[in-house]
Amino acid sequence: MQILFLGTGAADWPNPGPKVGKGRRFSSLLLNQTILIDCGPMALDAIREFDVNVNLITDIVIGHGHGDHINMPIILEIAKLRQEGLPPLRLHVNKGTAAIRCKVPPECAAIIEVMPFMPGDTFNCGETVFKAYPASHPVSKDELTTHFIISLPEGKTMYYGLDGSWFPPTTWHAMQKAKFDVIVWELTCGNLDDWRLGEHSNFSMLKIWKNAFTNDGAISPNTKIFCSHMARTLCPPHDLYAREIANFGFTLAYDGLLWESK
Ligand SMILES: [Zn+2]
Ligand SMILES: [Zn+2]
């Protein structure tokens, strides 16, 4: 199992252009070289900077319709960059966002297929199975935010939770029953008890979740927990903060971080 973090920032980071330097692009990650989860306006620069082979990407999965997580022109650009003759790129996105933000122009109809889903649905990306769960993160009346419990063909289980505040009960109970090898949680608010906690999380919440899900057996000492989606204006500088949260067993992700399971 391999994860490449293409971006680890919340929506308040400026676009760094072709080289990210000490900044962060909007949150996005590549799973096993084939599944791109979230794809905002800076994703293509990250794909180029970190030498991602777009021909290997078969699926793009979007957690919710905010502009830092989905950018249809960039998704179409990625579809066009793939070599001819490949099966269409599958774009999995919640039904409301698919209707509002995912219009496919006729000239792209053969290279991309939009596959809408709803919270509670299960869908496949090749042999990888995604189950979508509701998240506390408002977008618009018809657009829902989902987190995912992802079952990988190599037998690993991953939680992808961007963006969101406290978990709704159905999501919480599903998490309790899982056995996670990897978790990606959002840490938008850093250590601050900020007004955004109604739709995002901070480190106090992550510590509670880690303890609670450890008590349930969903998290073990071997579970790798990454934090992503850090807000520029709310989180301490990376090196300082990475050391601080490592004391509690969390890994602060950074753009370009490549992680492989043993
Ligand atoms: Zn976001
Ligand atoms: Zn959002």
The per-residue DSSP string of 179-196 comes to --SEEEEE-TTTT---GG
pTM: 0.98
**Which residue type occupies 219?**
I
User: What are the average pLDDT values for consecutive 10-residue runs of the chain, which has 262 residues?
Assistant: 98 98 98 98 98 98 98 98 98 98 97 98 98 98 97 98 98 98 98 97 98 98 98 98 98 98 88
- Using the mean position of ligand 2's atoms as its centre, give its distance from the Cα of residue 66 in Å: 5
State whether residue 72 is helix, strand or coil. Answer: helix
Give the ligand at the shortest distance from the Cα of 231.
1
Task: Compute the distance from residue 163 Cα to the ligand 1 centre, in Å.
Answer: 6
- What is the Å distance from ligand 2's center to 131 Cα? 19
The Cα 19–Cα 201 span in angstroms is 28
d(CA 159, CA 52) in angstroms, rounded, equals 23
Q: Identify whether the C-beta of residue 88 lies closer than 8 Å to the C-beta of residue 78.
A: no
Q: Which residues, by Cβ under 5 Å, contact ligand 1, an ion?
A: 68, 163
Environment of ion ligand 2 (residues, CB < 5 A): 66, 163
Residue 30 three-state SS: strand
Residues 167, 152: Cα–Cα separation, whole Å? 23
Nearest ligand (C-alpha, residue 139): 2
Q: How far is the CA of 64 from the centre of ligand 2 (A)?
A: 7
Ligand 1 centroid to Cα of residue 80, in Å, is: 25
pLDDT at residue 180 in the model: 98
CA–centroid distance, residue 10 to ligand 2 (Å):
8
Tokens in use for 193?
A: 């008890």
User: Which domains, from first to last, does the chain contain?
Assistant: 2-260 (3.60.15.10)
Ligand nearest to the CA of 12: 1
Pick the ligand that lies closest to the CA of residue 64: 2
Which ligand has its closest atom nearest to the C-alpha of 10? 1
Burial class (CB within 10 angstroms; exposed 0-12, middle 13-18, buried 19+) of 106: exposed
Residue corresponding to tokens 């979230």: 38
* Nearest ligand by distance to the CA of 8: 1
Sign for the CA dihedral angle at 138, 141, 125, 53 comes to negative
For residue 223, give both structure tokens.
């579970």
User: What is the whole-number distance in angstroms between the Cα of residue 98 and the centre of ligand 1?
Assistant: 17
| Alpha-carbon gap, residue 62 to 67, rounded angstroms | 11
51: number of Cβ within 10 Å: 7
